[in-house]
Amino acid sequence: MSLRNWFLLVVLGAIWGGSFLFAKIAVAEIPPFILVFFRVSIACTALWCVVWWRGLSKHFTPKLLPAFFMMGLMNNAIPFSLLFLGQTGIGAGLASILNATTPIFTVIVASFLTNQEQPQLNKIIGVVLGIASVGMMLSGSLTGLANDPVWAQLCCVGAAISYACGATFAKRFSHLPPTVSATGQLTGSTLIMLPVAVFAGSGWSISEPSALTWLNVLALGLLATAIAYLIYFRLLAEAGATNASLVTLLVPASALFLGWMLLGEQLSTVQIAGFAVLLVGLAVLDGRIFPKRSAEPQR
């Protein structure tokens, strides 16, 4: 990759790592479902401005609406809701690590459940290591070595599974400009979360959160969602999917550092070990440790 793309990759890792910090601060004063609505609606508004400015609105047709709603459900509404719920019980760093299992579950969905991809040896090894890492991190709470609630960790794992389903479903949008796909799914998730937020907001006042909390909400919507999507799609176009996927390794590292520095968060020994196994699994999955080979001989 060029130096510019490496810079964009690091910036994106820092932004998405920071999103877990923004969410941890904001969810302390704003109910999770309402926070999801704020995040997607702010990002949706920003990206629609980009769509109109670039003249991309012609790509939106009525037949795409059901697919955009489904994509918004799997890639925004469900995972954001589960992550924010999870972060009411666990720290930003641990949530980011569990969310980093998304590529592991994507392989399971794409290769073993939908047959979109052919199973390869490096992917099988990566999946095994990834599942083992999740088991290690959950075992800390189950055995009393860590105090993080299991239900909150499972919420984050559920978010990763939802992202995996969304990534598999997203292949049907390959003919569309990436900005259109992102705007379409955020439009769908905004419409999905509106009634949910209204129902969940019963008894909650918009005047309750502090100015700091609202700054974190804006950071979630504008920086961690709208701007991050634009950077990610630029990386995909210029550096390719394999290189862009390196951000998966940077996000938890960034979130862990920010959580430690600003919130005083720390991981238990078993969670650190689980994170290490996950990093190895992701590297194997990506083909950077073992060469990619098919699990079955070619015929």
Write the pLDDT tens digit of every residue in 43-86: 999 999 999 999 999 989 888 999 999 999 999 999 999 999 99
pLDDT at 298 over 70: no
pLDDT at 116 over 60: yes
pLDDT classification of 208: cutoffs 50, 70, 90: confident
Both tokens of 195, joined, read 């009634």
Question: Is 36:22 a contact under the CB 8 Å cutoff?
Answer: no
- How deeply is 122 buried, as exposed, middle or buried, from its count of CB atoms within 10 A (0-12, 13-18, 19+)? buried
pLDDT classification of 115: cutoffs 50, 70, 90: low
- pLDDT given for residue 188 in this prediction: 95
The DSSP call for residue 59 is: G
Whole-angstrom Cα distance, residue 194 to residue 119? 39
- pLDDT given for residue 153 in this prediction: 95
- Average pLDDT of 265-292? 83
pLDDT at 194 over 90: yes
pLDDT at 118 over 60: yes
CB neighbour list of residue 247: distance below 8 Å, 6 or more residues apart = 9, 12, 13, 16, 232, 235
Mean residue pLDDT across the chain? 88
Both tokens of 95, joined, read 């949530």
Vertex 81 angle, CA 76 and 84, to 5°:
120
- pLDDT given for residue 17 in this prediction: 94
**Alpha-carbon distances of 20 from 69, 83, 96, 228, 257, rounded to whole Å:** 25, 9, 7, 14, 11
Task: Give bridge partners of residue 102 from the DSSP assignment.
Answer: none
For the chain, report the end-to-end CA distance as a whole number of angstroms.
34
Q: Which of left, alpha, beta for 181 (phi over 0: left; psi -120 to 50: alpha)?
A: alpha
Which carries the bigger pLDDT value, residue 141 or residue 24?
A: 24
Q: Smallest Cα–Cα separation from 83: which of 149, 165, 139, 27?
A: 27
**Alpha-carbon distances of 66 from 60, 73, 184, 189, rounded to whole Å:** 12, 11, 10, 12
Whole-angstrom Cα distance, residue 116 to residue 170? 12
The length of the chain, given as a count of residues: 299
Q: Smallest Cα–Cα separation from 220: which of 72, 49, 75, 84?
A: 84
pLDDT at 297 over 70: no
- pLDDT given for residue 286 in this prediction: 74
Best mean pLDDT range from 51-55, 114-118, 170-174, 236-240: 51-55
pLDDT classification of 290: cutoffs 50, 70, 90: low
Whole-angstrom Cα distance, residue 243 to residue 231? 13
Write the pLDDT tens digit of every residue in 85-94: 999 999 999 9
Both tokens of 143, joined, read 């055995």
pLDDT classification of 175: cutoffs 50, 70, 90: confident
pTM of the model: 0.90
